[in-house]
Structure 1
Amino acid sequence: MQQHERKHKYRKQEEIDPLKQEETARKIAAKEAKRQQVIEDVKLSLKRRRFDRIAIENARSDIEANIRQKEIRDMKKLRGEKTMLQIRKDLSAIIEAGIKCICPSIIIPKKIKYDGRTTLTINNVKYKIKNNLHIVGWGKEVVTMSSAFEKVVGKQLKRGFIVVPRKSISMMWNFPEAFPKLDSRITFVEAGMNGQPDEKTVEITQKIVNYCKRLKKRDLLIVMLSRDLDDLLCCPQNTITLKDKLRVLNRLKAANATLEEINIVRNKLSAIRGGDLARLAYPAKIITLFTSDMLAEPLEQLGGGPCVYDPKNQKALAILIKYKLVDKVSQNVRELLGESGSRKMRADAQLNEKKRYKFVQQYVIACNADAIECMAREALKLGLSPLKLNSTCSGTVEEFAQEYVKIASLMILAVENKITKLEMYEQMKESPICPLTDRKVWEMFPTKDKWSLGLCLLLGGRPTFNLGENSGKSGPNQELALYFSLYWYMRTKQYPILRGYTVWFLGGSSYGRDGNTSASGAFGYKSLATDIHPEYEKAKSIYKTAFLKWRKLAEDKQSESRIVKARQTMKDAEEMKKRYAAILPERVLRENNTNLFFSSINNGDELLQLKRENYYMLADVGDLHVIHIARFQCNCSGTCHVDEDRIYADRDYPVNRMLSATVVPVLQYCCRVAAPKSL
């Protein structure tokens, strides 16, 4: 039998390339490292969100605990103190009513109505809708604005895109009022980093641009905007990069260019600002909804004007020439700025005589005037007589205080027949800080029979206020309250008849936080600032006496125990003197540290604290101010009137004041408060 030799076939082993294997291992390691980095970033993000949620819950618990402690303290107050407490309570209720009513979740359903069929009404203007609604928007306030809007229109909304700052979405879930619908058709995207636009900002804005390009004539586009959108509303022209745009704008800021000049250049470099969003969305109809602190603010400045016509001519290049920056920017930027005008599109043929797009309507959905209207209603409920003056005051904090003191004193002098209606009119008609129309000045002339339990002057605006790098904790309303106290005291020295009235000021931020503090604002009245100086002089005297006693004991070589005890007494007195020195009004105003002043006196009662930690829900439309004027008789049996040129303490009504962690019993001045005396 023939044996067949089996040929064993050996598989040829592949040659292993060490370099290729090393490169593969390196790629795998890089991918794994990237994966681990993503995991760590997610863990860190979740941990931060958890800490933020815990911080919010702790803040809420602290507020509730502080409210309970304050209620216990208030129950122990004496009659005169309770009258002051009632004034604080009434003024706080008035300010909080104004802040609450402009919350997007409250004001949107009031100003926007849907009949459940085909009619949408915005500020009494009707629009026909039928599954043709779209929303785009930028800003933190727009989160709650868009959610509230979707709850009104329901399934009529087809789709929406809202761009918000980082952490806005995670923070939203801590506030039930801000919750969007579970089946919401709105996509919320976080963008921007440290107040600057990033690539995510450009990416989502470009997506919105592409979406708006596909809209038809039957579509209705809702554009929602809030203030300060420079880090969110950003989409450079295709020929330049984000870095190019930021480099130009930063150099303009460094050259001290005006905000208007910077906006002209920003619009020219943008593919969405200066009316470009409207150009791209045409022929769709556009409705712009925004919050504003100034109704008189030029529409071109609102949110960068994405739906407001801008010719985008060579003004931008002229601005760079003015600041000698032409040679310091890239060639692409120079070419773009050198273009004679924007690329003509069909929408540019739809301009009216005022150079505004006919297919675009703009509405102020929330402003200071809305808040003041609600404040007036609350004042009436409290039996006070409200007088709405101006919601768009402007100037520095000190100018605000001077103007408010002048207005309050003129009202009193007029009701006391010390000045005529014409004299009052002449002094108030041309105010640069708080301009009033002729009709308003004539109508506001006070008469005794209309004051009820007191007169409430309602105003608002946004005082110029800057915190330096070395500033302490402060806010425009706290500084305004302290300045008001100082100027009102000086005014009463000038016009003694004003001393027969109790005048209080309260300023609060519509955003819920005043400056860099957790307080919303502060109270101001005549003796608020001047009370500190007598106590400071007393502390200086106590320290001087303690120092001399210690030195005397040391010189006489008395027993060591007596010297040690005297030295400790001296140190305690010195510490108390420093604490009073730190809260002298002129010092805290100079150092922008007024929050220390208000936190250190009367257990912080002179600070306005909102009852809920709901800052996320609030709209930033400026500051709200109320001046309360009433004629009261004093509680101190006339003691404080013995010498009008000297401040007297009401020793029948002591109040505890707190300096840092140490509670020191001192006397609070009577502030001329008691039961109202009929006029």
Structure 2
Amino acid sequence: MEEDLREILRAGLAAADPEDAVRRHLGLEGNEVLVSGERLSPGRIFVVAAGKAAGPMARAAAGILGGKIAGGLVVTKDGHEPGPEGLETLYASHPEPDERGLEAARRVAELAAPLGEGDLLLALVSGGASALLADPAEGIELGDLKQLTSALLRSGASIDEINAVRKHVSTLKGGGLARLAAPARTVALLLSDVVGDDPSSIASGPTVPDPTTLQDARGVLRRHGIDPPASIARRLRDGPETPKPGDPVFERVTNLVIGGGLATAQASCEAARTLGYTPLLLSTYVTGESRAAALLHAAIVREALASGNPAPPPLALVSGGETTVTVSGEGTGGPNQEFALALALALEGVDGWAALSVDTDGADGPTDAAGGLVDGETAARIRAASLDPRDALSRNDVHPALEAADALLITGPTGTNVNDLRIVLVRRGI
């Protein structure tokens, strides 16, 4: 089943290829730029690509538009693919911002601000751009932004909640890039890494009207018990609002989601079917605590083995979305690794199943692993290595535990980023 899992994962990732996604939605005929049927005739074209898939997306755009591109920037995470020759690639830190991200955001703002009415800004946006473009609003130091980001990531807040706060302490997020680029025409091609593919949540919506408010942002911090630095608190109390739906700044802006987790999950299902499993796509909207999601998947596995419901084995359970971890320990891991270990504990000693859980960008939390690949013997292998898997889970130190059981799934940077993917195979008697 392990090789089946890896083959299904490869098919899912192939469906999320960012270059293919750009090529499906962007074209050129003579001097006209085609964007999903819309025809544009810009005087100059500038490209800003930001996120973990920025390099491949920018390469696809350059291959289509060629010499029509007057300039641009590519901003991506360390170790990820660069953009094409002719566009400068800037690297920055993720998930917490750094000085390089501060410089990258400054360079992007400098590119966008002088654009005129005859220009086109092509924004190629993928997950990770929120952190990679470290753009603290006036009066906020980078150190304060880093402190806020760390607290949010450890709090168990959902990505929507995190983005609601980020938008209100930033200059480019929450429609800020579109506002800077106006009156230029802006077209944003968005590769979604958020549940539901809401454009305003993808990379904190730099080209999208922001439906959230300062009050919403304050509520997120209050719910999760986060006491922000004074500059953040002041901004969330007295700062200006982000541009909202209906703002004239968006009259010349097109936002188009060109890929996301659903296509990846569907492709995974088809690959599983080819391998002889009955696929069940549970949901691509799975959120909440990783451990709770693991318990639900474990319950379905037990039901399938015991009664053949919701379908008899051989069965493939597929789900997407983005689970979170409320961090209370000081260990190393990530949401997908926590899901994997929690599932291994919930189904310890149960035969006939194997599962993987991965972040599709290849990096689960601040680790070198995409996630974990586990079965009914994983917990026992951890104990054989003189580690306690339940203690590791309670201390949020799952990476060493899975490593001891040879259960880490390491892919390296995948070149895409469309949220999490979980695959559970059930095959009686294996």
Q: TM-score range by the shorter chain?
A: 0.7 to 0.9
Shift of the alpha carbon at 1:339?
A: 6.7
Q: 1:504 aligns with which of 334, 338, 354?
A: 354
Shift of the alpha carbon at 1:404?
A: 0.6
Q: 1:304 aligns with which of 204, 217, 220?
A: 204
Is 1:292 the counterpart of 2:192 in the alignment? yes
Corresponding residue SS for 1:135: strand
In structure 2, distance between residues paired with 1:376 and 1:401: 19
Partner of 1:363: 256
Partner of 1:585: 389
Q: Residues 260 and 418 of structure 2 are in contact (CA less than 8 Å); yes or no, is this contact kept in structure 1?
A: yes
Is 1:378 the counterpart of 2:290 in the alignment? no
In structure 2, distance between residues paired with 1:477 and 1:581: 22
Which one-letter code corresponds to 2:25 in the other structure?
I
After superposition, the Cα gap between the structure-2 partners of 1:106 and 1:468, relative to the gap in structure 1 and judged at 3 Å, is farther
Q: 2:319 aligns with which of 459, 465, 490?
A: 459
What do residues 524-545 of structure 1 show as CA deviations (whole Å, max 9, x unaligned)? Answer: 333443x569xxxxxxxxxxxx
Q: Residues 156 and 327 of structure 2 are in contact (CA less than 8 Å); yes or no, is this contact kept in structure 1?
A: no
- Give the structure-2-normalised TM-score: 0.77
Structure 2 matches for 1:183-262, cutoff 5 A? Answer: 184=86, 186-190=87-91, 195-198=96-99, 205-235=105-135, 240-243=138-141, 247=144, 250=147
Which one-letter code corresponds to 2:271 in the other structure?
E
In structure 2, distance between residues paired with 1:133 and 1:459: 39
After superposition, the Cα gap between the structure-2 partners of 1:318 and 1:383, relative to the gap in structure 1 and judged at 3 Å, is closer
Q: 2:422 aligns with which of 601, 611, 625?
A: 625
Aligned-CA RMSD value: 4.5
Structure with the bigger percentage of strand: 2
After superposition, the Cα gap between the structure-2 partners of 1:525 and 1:101, relative to the gap in structure 1 and judged at 3 Å, is same
Shift of the alpha carbon at 1:469?
A: 6.3
Partner of 1:137: 49
Q: Residues 113 and 152 of structure 1 are in contact (CA less than 8 Å); yes or no, is this contact kept in structure 2?
A: yes
Structure 2 matches for 1:381-400, cutoff 5 A? Answer: 381-400=274-293
What do residues 372-420 of structure 1 show as CA deviations (whole Å, max 9, x unaligned)? Answer: 122123223323332222122112222112111222344456647xxxx
Q: Residues 178 and 186 of structure 2 are in contact (CA less than 8 Å); yes or no, is this contact kept in structure 1?
A: yes
Which one-letter code corresponds to 2:394 in the other structure?
R
In structure 1, distance between residues paired with 2:363 and 2:156: 30
In structure 1, distance between residues paired with 2:136 and 2:401: 47
Corresponding residue SS for 2:413: helix
Structure 2 matches for 1:544-555, cutoff 5 A? Answer: none
Partner of 2:63: 151
Which one-letter code corresponds to 2:54 in the other structure?
V
Is 1:405 the counterpart of 2:312 in the alignment? no
Q: Residues 92 and 132 of structure 2 are in contact (CA less than 8 Å); yes or no, is this contact kept in structure 1?
A: yes
After superposition, the Cα gap between the structure-2 partners of 1:362 and 1:376, relative to the gap in structure 1 and judged at 3 Å, is same
Structure with the bigger percentage of helix: 1
After superposition, the Cα gap between the structure-2 partners of 1:348 and 1:219, relative to the gap in structure 1 and judged at 3 Å, is farther
In structure 2, distance between residues paired with 1:257 and 1:398: 12
Q: Residues 368 and 392 of structure 1 are in contact (CA less than 8 Å); yes or no, is this contact kept in structure 2?
A: no
Percent identity between the two aligned chains = 23
Shift of the alpha carbon at 1:274?
A: 3.2
Long gaps (5+) in structure 1: 1-86, 173-177, 352-356, 417-444, 493-498, 534-578, 632-671, 674-679
Q: 2:72 aligns with which of 148, 155, 160?
A: 160
Q: Residues 313 and 340 of structure 1 are in contact (CA less than 8 Å); yes or no, is this contact kept in structure 2?
A: no
Shift of the alpha carbon at 1:151?
A: 1.6
Point out the structure with max Rg over C-alpha.
1
After superposition, the Cα gap between the structure-2 partners of 1:201 and 1:119, relative to the gap in structure 1 and judged at 3 Å, is same
What do residues 129-157 of structure 1 show as CA deviations (whole Å, max 9, x unaligned)? Answer: 46643212333431332122212322232
Long gaps (5+) in structure 2: none
Q: Between Structure 1 and Structure 2, how many residues are aligned?
A: 425
Q: Choose between structure 1 and 2 for higher RCO, CA contacts under 8 A separated by at least 6 residues.
A: 2
In structure 1, distance between residues paired with 2:373 and 2:307: 25
Corresponding residue SS for 2:115: coil
Partner of 2:373: 523
What do residues 448-484 of structure 1 show as CA deviations (whole Å, max 9, x unaligned)? Answer: 7xx7xx221211233223666642x544444433432
Which one-letter code corresponds to 2:122 in the other structure?
I
Q: Residues 269 and 337 of structure 1 are in contact (CA less than 8 Å); yes or no, is this contact kept in structure 2?
A: no
Corresponding residue SS for 2:12: helix
Q: Residues 317 and 338 of structure 1 are in contact (CA less than 8 Å); yes or no, is this contact kept in structure 2?
A: no
Which one-letter code corresponds to 1:384 in the other structure?
Y
In structure 2, distance between residues paired with 1:235 and 1:600: 39
In structure 2, distance between residues paired with 1:328 and 1:519: 35
Partner of 1:657: none
In structure 2, distance between residues paired with 1:483 and 1:311: 35
Which one-letter code corresponds to 1:485 in the other structure?
A
Q: Residues 481 and 507 of structure 1 are in contact (CA less than 8 Å); yes or no, is this contact kept in structure 2?
A: yes
In structure 1, distance between residues paired with 2:54 and 2:388: 42
In structure 1, distance between residues paired with 2:289 and 2:5: 23
Which one-letter code corresponds to 1:458 in the other structure?
V
Is 1:112 the counterpart of 2:25 in the alignment? yes
Shift of the alpha carbon at 1:93?
A: 0.7
Corresponding residue SS for 1:616: coil
Q: 2:10 aligns with which of 87, 96, 108?
A: 96
After superposition, the Cα gap between the structure-2 partners of 1:343 and 1:361, relative to the gap in structure 1 and judged at 3 Å, is closer
- Give the structure-1-normalised TM-score: 0.52
Structure 2 matches for 1:636-651, cutoff 5 A? Answer: none
What do residues 21-70 of structure 1 show as CA deviations (whole Å, max 9, x unaligned)? Answer: xxxxxxxxxxxxxxxxxxxxxxxxxxxxxxxxxxxxxxxxxxxxxxxxxx
